[in-house]
Amino acid sequence: MNCQEIEALKHAYADRELDLVRTTEIEHHLSDCRACSQAHENIRALSSALKSSDLYFKAPAHLKKRIRASLPNEARSSSSQPFGWWQWFKWGIPIAGTALIAFLLATSFIRASTDERLAQEVTANHVRSLMATHLTDVTSSDQHTVKPWFDGKIDFAPPVKDLAAQGFPLMGGRLDYLQNRPVAALIYQRHKHLINLFVWPATRNSSRAKKLVVRQGYNLIHWNESGMTFWAVSDLNPVELREFVELIK
């Protein structure tokens, strides 16, 4: 990249809006070019001056009170009345019904919310791995350097496949942390897209079915296989990500 290209991208770079490939290219350029690195420092100095100089106006307490008071408030009128028999009749049946439905749905909600939290964690880890210069702990040309590297670092052996021939070369591996435990992260590449594949031992009765979810524009596919839980996450399109998952399985 030359200075002109950096000029066009310097704000997106400072705001961490660029993909890993371009971020790395700019980092290289900045380390050699004083003018561009000065311009970058200036953007950062401005940002931190704006953040640190107390420009945030908090809503005054009287405004919060006024807004709350101006919202229509139904609760006020009914709570002042005694709770008569007719109210048992009026509210009792719907409340009992709601409680029953809540009870019936509880287990599925618990599972859904665990998956939901995990999807967020996985996405956050993926994004973080792209932001920092810490994509891989071990860089690899094939699975024989990556697989042994995990020995002694985690208490399981993640299945490691090199899919270079199928167009998904293995870039390397990394230790990561999900659901309060260390997990293996395998990094694959498809053209300019990076895929993080997180692997750890599955808990009991995990579903084998593949599920696709979308979080913050990233596609995530998760499934269980041979006692392991897998989460693949990437900005790659769902079709190619599915293809990748089929190759891994």
> Which range binds another protein by CB under 8 A, 61-69, 116-124, 230-238, 240-248?
61-69
**Shortest reach from residue 163's CB to another protein, in Å:** 30
Binding-site member from 11, 28, 111, 117 for another protein (CB under 8 A):
11
* Number of residues counted as binding another protein (CB under 8 A): 37
Of the candidate spans 22-30, 50-58, 109-117, 178-186, the one that interacts with another protein by CB under 8 A turns out to be 50-58
Contact letters (x/-) for another protein, 62-101, by CB under 8 A?
-xx-xxx-xxxxxx------------------x-------
From the CB of residue 116, how many other CB atoms can be counted at a distance below 10 Å? 13
Whole-angstrom Cα distance, residue 24 to residue 161?
26
Which of residues 10 and 147 has its CB atom nearest to another protein in the complex? Answer: 10
104 binds another protein (CB under 8 A): no
72 versus 84: smaller Cβ distance to another protein: 72
Does 47 bind another protein (CB under 8 A)? Our answer is yes
The amino acid at 5: E
Report yes or no: 186 and 158 within 8 Å, Cβ to Cβ: yes
Name the residue nearer to another protein (CB basis): 35 or 106.
35
Reference 229, options 185, 191, 188; nearest CA is 185
Binding site for another protein (CB under 8 A): 11-12, 15, 17, 35, 38-39, 41-43, 45-47, 49-51, 53-60, 63-64, 66-68, 70-75, 94, 217
